[in-house]
Structure 1
């Protein structure tokens, strides 16, 4: 089983052949030509693909895209989180399979994928369409490696460009107003945890009482909520960086302590019948779904004539407040569970640009307007 690809080395484009050594069974790569121009490298690539196709290409069968993509997802799901797998499967069943699933792999052309993508523009966001493309790319890349197709046709399509999205946030005044209006409501504690600690909605709903250290005033985030087969379950966060322990203000610790006291009281009165360790749970004592809390939050904003933002934007508001308060970026990155500092810098680049302008203005006032 062999395949070819192009890799840029310095100023040249090199065509490589990858194959399995029949003696050792190990994968090896061979330089099949170096070219100054990419079009020449592509020409060589096509020639080699034809040679591979003629020499050892498996005879195309009547497998449809539907059959192949479902088989691919089943075998690939161990590499995906439950949420991602379910999302991929939903996209396949709702969009890919009904629209182009009946096409045989051997008949699949770039125009089929391009038309599929073009039809989704205006219906779905560019970011969502890119998820569709990623699913197709992964599945067809596997088909190419298995020599079920001559080429991965996804490589030739034009991908819709994403518009830069600026998160809508609350400033300090709006956050204080929200905190005041939410007092003594069921949304007070989730809002306080998002605004005061910058927790994700899935992290808030995944908290259990053993995550709270009332003495040290620490909160450990090590679980999130996800939907799986119609049920809400707890699972580990996607990245190791998301598992963290952070200091919490005394006001938040006291609010959690009061909430726990009320839960114990309701349990003693028999109102809470299911014995669980969840901080937030539904009438059946089970974890709450993220979309349920999001909808409650939207209705709360509308009812109280507050500017509409997503619940997740409370996290962005929190980070922006920390940046404006001159908290070091590394500290912010670790507290909110970003994989690295670059993630924080990229997401909040617009805030940092504003601070850069502010720094310039201060230099101007300090050095050049004194004379």
Structure 2
């Protein structure tokens, strides 16, 4: 909207107007221009109205030419300030690998529902996490809708195709957890074949249900061996080879986990051994973290994965991921009779549905116990 002002010249009084011409893309600040030399305010107002029409027409051309990548950059500049570094890296990777190559150079107003569906169908052939790709792309289209770059969101009604294997039944679902006997066997093999710190690492992951990043960021000051508790309040993330410590990802992730006597004893002995190992290397200062490298930095984030994969291959164990150790902890808790709410609190899940998803994959032993309970009841 234009503003008007009278000013004095050598020949008398004249009028000027100031009018906004958009936003500077680099600074985000509003840009204005000034036109002078009008004899009356009415003449200045008429000129301002004509100038506004030119601006509107130019903006219309610009909006018709704007690409998906242009909108993405604009949206990302705002969005990245609302998420953590680890989430930023993950999202950028998804856009670079799957979204920008398909939509980036296209004018956003020319992207159709049919094209979006075709892209999602193609991505679904390559990866299982196509739902998340749709969600991320949809955030950009929603932003474009809010900014009036488009009038409808072509991604909104895209359907996620089912993978062929979802229609096929299998004798046994792939399970990403170990049962009690498998856990015991694994820990025996680790004790026999790996350094003691690795044994401590896997033991704590299995017996507390901690996330990998939470354990690698765990400091000794947050371990209370008298009260037998672990205070989980941060997680580790690596960016460009540098350790970044973040508060745990959600409010419910900040929690105090109780540990049993045996776990407390393992940690107590490890603390003593850790000090002795450091002294043998001429280091007199105490370690800050429970698990460390030779230079006292936290372990690499990929280290548990690498060691677990080698142990599984070497000993021909049922294949699971490091996150599967967390599921193993939950499954054993359910088998032992723990409630959904108890497991939810221990694992730091914000939503009960997350815990229930694990519950649906309870161990074979638990399923057999259910059948046995029914059989015994019927015999009464």
**Equivalent of residue 259 in structure 1, options 265, 270, 276:** 270
- Larger mean CA deviation between 327-336 and 137-146 belongs to 327-336
Maintained 8 Å contact 1:208/1:277:
yes
User: Secondary structure of 1:122's partner?
Assistant: helix
Maintained 8 Å contact 1:65/1:100:
yes
Q: Which residue of structure 2 aligns with residue 329 of structure 1?
A: 340
Asked if residue 365 in structure 1 is aligned to residue 376 in structure 2, the reply is yes
Q: Which residue of structure 1 aligns with residue 176 of structure 2?
A: 168
Q: Distance in 1 between matches of 2:249 and 2:319?
A: 28
Equivalent runs, 1:16-165 vs 2, <5 Å: 59=60, 60-125=63-128, 127=129, 129-161=130-162, 163=166
Asked if residue 182 in structure 1 is aligned to residue 190 in structure 2, the reply is yes
Q: Which residue of structure 2 aligns with residue 242 of structure 1?
A: 253
Query: Once the 2 structures are TM-superposed, how far is the Cα of residue 257 of structure 1 from its aligned partner?
Result: 1.7
Q: Normalising by the residue count of structure 2, what TM-score does the alignment of the two structures yield?
A: 0.74
Provide the alpha-carbon RMSD of the alignment.
Answer: 2.8
Q: Distance in 2 between matches of 1:235 and 1:273?
A: 28
Query: Once the 2 structures are TM-superposed, how far is the Cα of residue 274 of structure 1 from its aligned partner?
Result: 8.2
User: Secondary structure of 1:169's partner?
Assistant: coil
**Equivalent of residue 215 in structure 2, options 180, 204, 208:** 204
Provide, for residues 210-266 of structure 1, a one-character-per-residue CA deviation record: whole Å limited to 9, x for no partner.
110011111111111123344332111111111111211122212212222222223
Provide, for residues 125-145 of structure 1, a one-character-per-residue CA deviation record: whole Å limited to 9, x for no partner.
1x2x22221111111101101
Query: Once the 2 structures are TM-superposed, how far is the Cα of residue 208 of structure 1 from its aligned partner?
Result: 0.8
Q: Distance in 2 between matches of 1:98 and 1:342?
A: 34
- Larger mean CA deviation between 179-188 and 239-248 belongs to 179-188
Q: Distance in 2 between matches of 1:265 and 1:258?
A: 11
| Closer/same/farther in 2, CA of residues 209 and 215 from structure 1, 3 Å limit | same
- Larger mean CA deviation between 333-342 and 200-209 belongs to 333-342
Query: Once the 2 structures are TM-superposed, how far is the Cα of residue 300 of structure 1 from its aligned partner?
Result: 1.8
Query: Once the 2 structures are TM-superposed, how far is the Cα of residue 275 of structure 1 from its aligned partner?
Result: 6.7
Q: Which residue of structure 2 aligns with residue 11 of structure 1?
A: none
Q: Distance in 1 between matches of 2:239 and 2:348?
A: 24
Query: Once the 2 structures are TM-superposed, how far is the Cα of residue 202 of structure 1 from its aligned partner?
Result: 1.5
Maintained 8 Å contact 1:169/1:314:
yes
Query: Once the 2 structures are TM-superposed, how far is the Cα of residue 323 of structure 1 from its aligned partner?
Result: 0.9
Provide, for residues 170-207 of structure 1, a one-character-per-residue CA deviation record: whole Å limited to 9, x for no partner.
11111111111111624211110121111121211121
- Larger mean CA deviation between 199-208 and 113-122 belongs to 113-122
Q: Distance in 1 between matches of 2:199 and 2:84?
A: 31
User: Secondary structure of 2:243's partner?
Assistant: strand
| Count of residues paired in the alignment | 312
Structure number with bigger Rg: 2
Query: Once the 2 structures are TM-superposed, how far is the Cα of residue 104 of structure 1 from its aligned partner?
Result: 1.1
**Equivalent of residue 214 in structure 1, options 209, 225, 229:** 225
Maintained 8 Å contact 2:331/2:361:
no
| Closer/same/farther in 2, CA of residues 270 and 361 from structure 1, 3 Å limit | closer
Q: Normalising by the residue count of structure 1, what TM-score does the alignment of the two structures yield?
A: 0.76
Maintained 8 Å contact 1:297/1:311:
yes
Maintained 8 Å contact 1:206/1:223:
yes
Maintained 8 Å contact 1:207/1:223:
yes
Q: Distance in 1 between matches of 2:362 and 2:304?
A: 28
User: Secondary structure of 1:285's partner?
Assistant: coil
